Structure 1
């Protein structure tokens, strides 16, 4: 969301919050919690009962109500602005984007043509940043729907009272529902949460997105009939990592992957079945009143004959209604039984659909037949949306990526070498030259290392068993539903070629006309600053490799596309925010150019997290800040943890956030395709700033005693002990910061209100730059608003600085036992905080409060209650640490639960975790 606040929005928000707090107070009072009810926040009174841990639970619910009120207020204000000023007034949406393109002189036909190329894929992951249990999330979704329902002015006074009572009942349920995870969730439980959005939210959103594009097209004054815009424009796809992400996650086994693919498939076919049944009920057209086009009649006859008895049964229903008949035949062809589940009696190849594209073709014929018969509205309103659903979700709901760490792959290869009886099996320690010689020699052969029933070792078996599941899936269902083989911590060409070797072992490669090809694309993931800096060299080598060229040709045809994933989280943890974002920018520039030189389009997969330190930020600013030529109408990005609930828990907000992605990607792509590419003259200055910032950041995190300070001045140990995700907090169990995942790293700094990973090092870099090159500094300041890339970076840093609270930081620092260590490191952090604030204000030309009023208003609304929660957490931390060190497990576990409740409440107040 852009940083703008309307006075009317603020007034409405305050009214709504007061009403919701009154409802909660009434519920609490009725449950005998009168003192709690009297001290609820956001009404001029703040919680003071520090001896009562139920206050923490009350504040957590109060923050969630505030979040809902803010979300609903923003939705209602957007609707009001559009109603009075038109679609073009909302930043980043179709109305504004199409208006801007027209003002730039881009022809209508060109825009229409470019829209055909737009593909946006949202990949939902189960990264452990969602602190609330699934039960609590469901209750919150129902509560939000009731709040929205209460907005409707059509209700009578009696009906309004009934809705209010429903809200109070839901609040009572929330009060009595535990929020924290007592046990870690199972991977399939996490998948069920993801499927909820894919199955229940996003299908509702597709028609909304379609209509908004068509109305924006008309409003901007384009001459072609907006109703004729094909429903596939632009294309939206979904992916997921849940059940496929094995990087440091031992619980994601081959069996889990098989079950995840099955659950996704059953949910997708159930969704399609449901929409076909609804469409059949609507299309009650009689052959006596509407002529039946010959192609439709032929389809009915052909399918009925193929299905035999099932076809005859479908035809016996609705004998005078051919459109219903053909839909009944489509339902009979779905690869599920009558209960919507797969069965041995209903399988692809037995008259049933194998690929969703087959169903799409039949739906296209039905749509064309209605159009030919003159029923244009029925074709548009009843058939096109179902066809759109099948195009987006297919028979797989979301494509499942398989991710594993390069070091894990190396161990797998070594075990296979041992099983094959080779003498020197130290593959992971070999030089890159030697590794490549070995891999190229092996890839020229189709001989596997081990027999099919061999058990060479844990890592090898884990990878090969997984790949064999993928082979089985492809044999029955094709490649639909499968994404890519992603290699975490890609550092060299050999890290990627290893995957081809392991794929050969599992039968995931097949013989092509010129040699073996892999049935799935291999995708590098560049994560650290150093790896990003060398990424273009690795990518170029990979694209020039014969195995890659053959694979891309087999998978993509004459227009090869290579996906490349870039990591925001680990690069930030590695070098700080400025070095991270600028290294990502430079890497994309260089890799896009490497792709062009190899005749391959590079599709970037942005591994963004939910916080600014992990790549988050306003969608429109993010897209505008990408390097020219790096989008080319094709965007893939992750949505993680609590961000999924924040953006997509209700259809209207989901539609808004998806429209930002679709319209923003289209706008950036069209603009960049029709503007000559030129380097910004300030790029060398940014290189210097990024390097200076990185050195300042590294001097802190690698300094003597820093890890001790970090572990004592933040609740990192509490977060590591939490059960919010199925995946371990550390990749391999080591104690170093490098081994710690980015999520708990960011989460712990956020809880202690340092937000250090979002700003540290920037002040030092800007101050030194001002001292050494004042003229260049003022040039950067002059372009801080106009250069989109720079604006995105400095705005994110300013937001991170706003979330930091020096008073709270100092109180957490008091937990550090060594006084000298505490003062030494806190002084460095605090001085950099002041320096960064001062330099940002010089850059922006005024106080940050004036530049970013929304974020400051949001935080000010919460600060008093957050301060109570922080102090309660600080009070509990040393007690818990003492009991844990003394191995007093009962007392430690009791205090841990109280601490986790403070973690949840603070996360709800800040609307962020890791």
Structure 2
């Protein structure tokens, strides 16, 4: 009954309202829009029928056009298909807005307010309240926004969505109609590829319109609920930022773009402050506050509209004057409007003069290249990193870490120059926004301790001093092999005297990033999840051995195949063997707009992560700490799954299938990202060079979602055949980690639809390969339903399931059009103009399909 009630509410509040409001499209004063909207239902039904009959996309499209005399010419057909795509894109926006407007009613009705309820429960239990307060003294959630190319909505469309949400909440039909008119005229695509600075500006929309308001609001509510004195307040919510700083494989990110982004973030923040300050100043018109307000007026205005080329950190000055205003209000004016000042103080404490920490990321191979270049150019500075790594045996090697200011010359490679320039630039960024403005350097593809130590030396060769090296060096372990070596790498670092001293100066805190995307591509879904979990146990044990405060930074986001899904459930179920004092994760692609695109959704998801971090320690479940036997079983299943996935990867048709039948090639033509689809872009495609996002996106466009389930069915079947099913069942029922892995797998499968590509089974080249993929899907479905005691996938999550199925229905015509265009290009020699048009058509369908999948996480 409970499930059916939820479904009924979702049907009434979302599906029915969507059907009602989408009819407004037909009333828009655009003739072509009206005509397209009239024909679209017939086209959608025709596509659904064709899929049910397992027809090829060209048969579906051609038979549809055969019913209409006006679509004889190729140009007319293409024009119609483009208009269908544009129409559905806007329907997806409307669905997003309708769903978000109903969020409080149906979105997460069974989970919303969990943080508030925990605090209320603590009011009557002093011991529980004390536990929570103690936990929050050394706890934080850091959300790091990345520029990974799976976010297709430009800023103006995001703004329309938020305005639509407000209008829909009030059933303001005239305003809704106006916004839909605006939507009809607003372009969804960029004519040119964005620069890294463009990407940063796009993501800054969320900082300015969502996080600025929500982060300080949540912090204020928590302090108020727990009655924490202002002087004891610790920042719980932190923000990180990758656009302009993440140069891993992105040839367009330079020190200059990093400088521009840092400056832009500072300017946007001060404009937020200035808007708040103007409202505050309109209310506080009392004697005694003038000198403080006048100084703040000048400071906020100048930094907002006349920013200096070399600004300094003004946080202390701002807080001193705001507190001066607060004191005057309390002492002389009965505390009138003091809450406005406290709100701005809270924001300044949270965001300082930097808004968000700008992370720098580069691949270890580039850092090695830079190190070797300087050694060759300055042979007298040569340092044997391998000896330094084993310093516990040879203490003399320690003296070879030198503090010099080495030049790099005009002949240096551009990547070498960028690395050395950004190391120097970090000092300027810290001066303008404090250490919090940019304090982390992430080493991608970190394989050995010398990768970290070499970077430390690069800083010391660039004007930095050991005792003032205000930088955290963050190794990123991502592939299955790198994850297996991670513990040994960190042991080598903790036993190195120079690095151990550096960690001590950094508050004895070490951040380690564990990436998910490439580990899925590398070893499959189950092995990726297990490798990361196992690495966390090993890394925690070593950190505790050396008394290091370990912070895990998780590269999660997007679909479950890239580590997304029900992320908060992972953090709530880490167990005693895994450090979980801080939660840090990447937020990327459509996950940003789906989970943090509006005030309601952002507030909910941040509170969920805070709650998960608190609960994982103070109300930990016994089943969340795995027994030796449970670890052995998961490990065996992971290896069975890995073997199945590796057989797939080694199949001679694996990459050819993806290149030929998916829109992989067209991903490089979509103007949403400044970086290429693959590394070594001028060379022949290799799986190791293919970016995980492109890999996962291509499978999702095929509606096969291989990275999110392949091998799981084989592993579960192996467990049953070896009389281990009762153990696996127990794991699903009692281990939050294992249950989340399986539930996220079911989410990936719910978004799969092999019927759409069933025509491929008859293909002379790829038919057997398609059947192999379908067989593993069916096997996995059989076993996850048995394990979860369900009759349909995601039965325990009826609202999310209904949302996914509704979105899949909306975009089905886009998929048919996309596959039709791909097959047309494969089968026909077309005039150049028509070939270009078909390529653009494929690219446009990619937009709509990805945007509709915003609930991938």
* Length-normalised TM-score, structure 1: 0.83
Match of 1:529 in 2: 480
Give the Å deviation of 1:454: 5.4
Contact 2:151 2:851 in 1 (8 A): no
CA distance in 2, matches of 1:103, 1:525: 43
Deviation at 1:757, TM superposition (A): 0.4
Asked whether 1:838 is paired with 2:767, we answer no
In 1, Cα distance between the equivalents of 2:285 and 2:455?
53
Cα distance in 1 between the residues matched to 2:531 and 2:624: 23
Shift of 1:581: 0.8
Note the alpha carbon deviations across 1:81-117, whole angstroms, 9 max, x for none.
6xxxxxxx63573134446778999522222232232
Q: Which of 127, 151, 174 does residue 130 from structure 1 map onto? A: 151
- 2:94 pairs, out of 62, 65, 69, with 65
Query: How far apart, CA to CA, are the structure 2 residues paired with 1:676 and 1:868?
Result: 43
Supply the distance in 1 between the matched residues of 2:289 and 2:578 (Cα, whole angstroms): 45
The DSSP-based 3-state class of the residue aligned with 1:55 is helix
What residue in structure 2 maps to residue 309 of structure 1?
A: none
- Equivalent position SS for 1:107: helix
Q: 2:624, 2:727 → 1: CA distance?
A: 23
Cα pair distance change 1:616/1:445, threshold 3 Å = closer
Aligned counterpart, 1:890? 833
Match of 1:828 among 772, 779, 782: 772
Output the CA distance in 1 between the equivalents of 2:403 and 2:503. Answer: 23
1-structure distance, mates of 2:498, 2:705: 44
Mapped contact 1:523–1:562 kept (Cα < 8 A): yes
- Equivalent positions of 1:489-888 (< 5 A) are 489-507=445-463, 509-512=464-467, 518-556=469-507, 560-628=508-576, 630-672=578-620, 679=627, 681-733=629-681, 734=683, 735-772=685-722, 774=723, 776-811=724-759, 819=764, 821-849=765-793, 850-881=795-826
CA contact (8 A) 1:464 1:505 kept: no
Are 1:174 and 2:183 matched, yes or no? yes
Q: Contact 2:526–2:641 (CA<8 Å) still a contact in 1? A: yes
Determine the structure 2 residue equivalent to 1:303: none
Instruction: Name the CA distance, whole Å, in 1 between partners of 2:32 and 2:644.
Output: 54
The 3 A distance-change label for structure 1 pair 31 and 167 is farther
Describe the superposition over 1:218-263 as per-residue Cα deviations: whole angstroms up to 9, x where unpaired: xxxxxx7x58687945621111011100000111111111111111
1:340 maps to which residue?
Answer: 305
CA contact (8 A) 1:17 1:42 kept: no
Separation in structure 1 between the aligned mates of residue 92 and residue 728 of structure 2, nearest angstrom = 38
2:195 counterpart residue number: 186
Structure 1 residues 895 and 259: alpha-carbon distance in aligned structure 2, compared to 1, 3 A threshold: same
Match of 1:472? 428
CA 1:707–1:501 in structure 2 vs 1: closer, same or farther (change >3 Å)?
same
Distance 1:496 1:749, change over 3 A: same
Structure 1 residue corresponding to 2:115, chosen from 84, 94, 105: 94
Q: CA shift at 1:869, angstroms? A: 2.1
Compared CA separation, residues 554 and 213, structure 1 to 2 (3 A): closer
What's 2:71 paired with?
Answer: none
Q: Helix, strand or coil for the counterpart of 1:387? A: helix
1:403 aligns with 2:361: yes
Question: Shift of residue 67 of structure 1?
Answer: 2.4
CA contact (8 A) 1:493 1:541 kept: yes
* Contact 1:595–1:602, Cα closer than 8 Å, also in 2: yes
- Note the residue ranges of structure 1 that are not aligned, 5 or more in a row: 82-88, 152-162, 218-223, 286-320, 349-353
Task: Name the residue aligned to 1:482.
Answer: 438
Q: What count of residue pairs does the alignment treat as equivalent?
A: 821
Q: Determine helix, strand or coil for the equivalent of 1:806.
A: coil
1:62 Cα offset (Å): 1.5
Distance 2:325 2:43 in 1: 58
> What per-residue deviation string (whole Å, max 9, x for no partner) do you get for residues 246-285 of structure 1?
0001111111111111111222223223333332332334
Tell me how far apart the structure 2 counterparts of residues 671 and 503 of structure 1 sit (CA, whole Å): 43
Distance between the aligned counterparts of 1:852 and 1:501, measured in 2? 51
Aligned to 1:165: 174
Q: Indicate how the Cα distance of structure 1 residues 36 and 98 shifts in structure 2: closer, same or farther if over 3 A, else same.
A: same
Alignment of 1:40-439 (within 5 A): 40=40, 51=77, 52-53=80-81, 54-77=83-106, 90-91=111-112, 93-98=114-119, 106-148=127-169, 150-151=170-171, 163-206=172-215, 208-210=217-219, 213=222, 217=225, 226=227, 232=233, 235-285=236-286, 321-333=287-299, 337=302, 340-343=305-308, 348=312, 354-364=313-323, 366-367=325-326, 370-371=329-330, 375=334, 378-379=337-338, 381-420=339-378
Contact map agreement 2:296 2:318 (CA 8 A) in 1: yes
- Cα distance in 1 between the residues matched to 2:44 and 2:624: 56
Q: Distance in 2 between matches of 1:718 and 1:581?
A: 30
Q: 1:865 to 1:479 in 2, by over 3 A?
A: closer
Contact preservation (8 Å) 1:873, 1:899? yes
Determine helix, strand or coil for the equivalent of 2:435: coil
Q: Which stretch has the larger CA shift, 519-528 or 263-272?
A: 263-272
CA contact (8 A) 1:125 1:638 kept: yes
After superposition, the Cα gap between the structure-2 partners of 1:887 and 1:544, relative to the gap in structure 1 and judged at 3 Å, is farther
Cα displacement string for residues 633-659 of structure 1 (whole angstroms, at most 9, x for unaligned residues): 311111112221122222222222222
CA contact (8 A) 2:446 2:475 kept: yes
Per-residue displacement from partner, 1:727-757 (whole Å, max 9, x unpaired)? 1111222411111011010000001000110
Shift of 1:539: 1.3
**Stretch moving more, 564-573 or 134-143:** 134-143
**What is the aligned partner in structure 1 of residue 51 from structure 2?**
none
Q: Is contact 1:179-1:901 (8 Å) kept? A: no
Displacement of 1:422: 8.1
Partner residue, 1:909: 852
- Cα distance between partner residues in 2 of 1:119 and 1:368: 29
Say which SS state the counterpart of residue 128 (structure 1) adopts. Answer: coil
Is the 2:575–2:625 Cα contact (8 Å) retained in structure 1?
no
Name the stretch that deviates more: 732-741 or 244-253.
732-741
CA distance in 1, matches of 2:595, 2:212: 15
| Structural RMSD (CA) | 3.4
Match of 1:36? 36
